[in-house]
Amino acid sequence: DTEVTQTPKHLVMGMTNKKSLKCEQHMGHRAMYWYKQKAKKPPELMFVYSYEKLSINESVPSRFSPECPNSSLLNLHLHALQPEDSALYLCASSPTHRRQGSGAKNIQYFGAGTRLSVL
């Protein structure tokens, strides 16, 4: 099973709302990622968690706050978002974060994403 599950599938929120995106995997992967994807563009890396610790923050605004409660779960807390934050938010996981040998352990498996609209 190579499934990464994201909820909700769709989210509409106002600029003053607080909401959270959830991601779950049961593959025993120790690295989890948040990406943002605009229409017709490639995914842009936001955060990387490795062994439940934040490993990479790609200079993401503080209105996005990631959390990794355990090795299977990854959350993205949203607060005071702007309309330009509307996008598809993708979660991914890989066996490890750091490259080892052939790179196979870094293969990233993506969820279906949460389509976020900020009004």
Partner 1 sequence: QQQVKQSPQSLIVQKGGISIINCAYENTAFDYFPWYQQFPGKGPALLIAIRPDVSEKKEGRFTISFNKSAKQFSLHIMDSQPGDSATYFCAASPYSGNTGKLIFGQGTTLQVKP
Binding-site ranges for partner 1 (CB under 8 A): 4, 6, 31, 40-43, 45, 48, 56, 90, 92, 94, 96-99, 102-103, 106-113, 115
Ramachandran class of 28: left when φ > 0, alpha when ψ lies in -120 to 50, beta otherwise: left
Closest to partner 1 by CB, 18 or 99: 99
Main-chain phi, psi angles of 108, to 5 degrees: -100, 130
Minimum distance from residue 16 beta carbon to partner 1 (Å): 28
Which C-beta is closer to partner 1: that of 35 or that of 64?
35
- Residue 113 tokens read as 């994403």
Q: Which is nearer to partner 1, 16 or 53 (CB)?
A: 53
Render the burial of 16-45: b for 16+ CB within 10 Å, e for the rest. Answer: eeebebebbbeeebbbbbbbbbeeeeebeb
Rounded to a whole number of angstroms, the minimum distance from the CB of residue 12 to partner 1 is 16
